[in-house]
């Protein structure tokens, strides 16, 4: 079942009247429940594409479908509400709110959705346990290690039980062992909660966990492939 589909998405940036065409026609389909890796060289437009799929930014042209319903032309308010309810994000730099405890960081999106205090507590507790930070919930991000912060970020992304999780280089700030456990968590919990995961990465170790890879090159997806036989060099070029 198609969760998200794009047809010929384009996106350019303009700096001092110079146009940089980043996406020139991206056709992508994400099926419910899959764990998909997005690879390509630095600067090829992975974050740009994630921002479009995550409804953070709008394309210049092309179409985006959510459960086969076209989103082009929908109001900003509609897209914001859809994003808030159905999409979770995990970033390289965690993007936790520094003045909030781990607990409050995880609960915050639930509060925005108007969820009752009891249900918030239930979800925060069970997710904190699942990601292994249940003894750290009163700490602010500055008192946590990188791996612990990313676990909080994963719990926060999953708390609303999103249909889609968008992860942008989630292991780039982590050491090797921590990176592997974080990716495993993301994949296993994504499966458990039935979330589709789209993850941009340079990390060849991470691509082994993906159901399939999509590769961005010169502004469009060159091919879809399985992860078999992918080498570090292939991921970077």
Ligand X SMILES: Nc1ncnc2c1ncn2[C@@H]1O[C@H](COP(=O)(O)OP(=O)(O)OP(=O)(O)O)[C@@H](O)[C@H]1O
Instruction: Give residues in contact with ligand X (CB under 6 A).
Output: 13, 15, 20, 22, 40, 42-48
Q: Angle 59-63-67 (CA atoms, 0-180°, nearest 5)? A: 120
Rounded least distance, CB 50 to ligand X, Å: 8
The answer to whether 165 and 200 have CB atoms below 8 angstroms apart is no
Rounded least distance, CB 212 to ligand X, Å: 19
Rounded least distance, CB 42 to ligand X, Å: 3
Nearer of residues 137 and 214 to ligand X, judged by Cβ: 214
Rounded least distance, CB 139 to ligand X, Å: 29
Nearer of residues 20 and 224 to ligand X, judged by Cβ: 20
The answer to whether 6 and 180 have CB atoms below 8 angstroms apart is no
Nearer of residues 45 and 162 to ligand X, judged by Cβ: 45
Nearer of residues 22 and 182 to ligand X, judged by Cβ: 22
DSSP classification of residue 54 = T
- CA dist 11 and 67 (Å) reads 22
Q: Quick check: helix, strand or coil at residue 221?
A: strand
Rounded least distance, CB 92 to ligand X, Å: 8
| Residues facing residue 155 across a β-bridge | none
The answer to whether 56 and 83 have CB atoms below 8 angstroms apart is yes
- Whose tokens are 């985006």? That residue is 64
Nearer of residues 57 and 129 to ligand X, judged by Cβ: 57
Q: Angle 189-187-124 (CA atoms, 0-180°, nearest 5)? A: 25
């Amino acid at each position: 079942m198609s969760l998200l589909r794009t047809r010929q998405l384009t996106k350019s940036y303009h700096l001092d009247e110079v146009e940089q065409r980043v996406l020139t026609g991206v056709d992508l389909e994400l099926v419910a429940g899959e764990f998909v890796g997005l690879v390509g060289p630095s600067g090829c437009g992975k974050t740009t594409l994630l921002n479009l799929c995550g409804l953070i930014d709008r394309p210049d042209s092309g179409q985006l479908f959510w459960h086969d319903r076209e989103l082009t032309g929908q109001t900003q308010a509609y897209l914001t509400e859809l994003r808030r309810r159905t999409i979770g994000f995990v970033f390289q730099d965690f993007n936790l709110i520094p003045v909030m405890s781990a607990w409050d960081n995880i609960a915050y999106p639930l509060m925005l959705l108007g969820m009752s205090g009891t249900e918030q507590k239930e979800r925060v507790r069970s997710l904190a346990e699942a990601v292994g930070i249940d003894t750290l919930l009163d700490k602010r991000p500055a008192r946590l290690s990188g791996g612990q912060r990313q676990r909080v970020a994963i719990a926060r992304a999953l708390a609303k039980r999103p249909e889609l999780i968008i992860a942008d280089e989630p292991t780039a700030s982590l050491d090797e062992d921590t990176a592997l456990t974080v990716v495993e968590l993301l994949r296993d919990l994504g499966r458990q909660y039935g979330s589709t995961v789209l993850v941009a990465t340079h990390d060849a170790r991470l691509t082994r966990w993906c159901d399939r890879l999509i590769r961005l090159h010169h502004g469009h997806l060159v091919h879809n492939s399985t992860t078999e036989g992918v080498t570090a060099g292939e991921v970077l070029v």
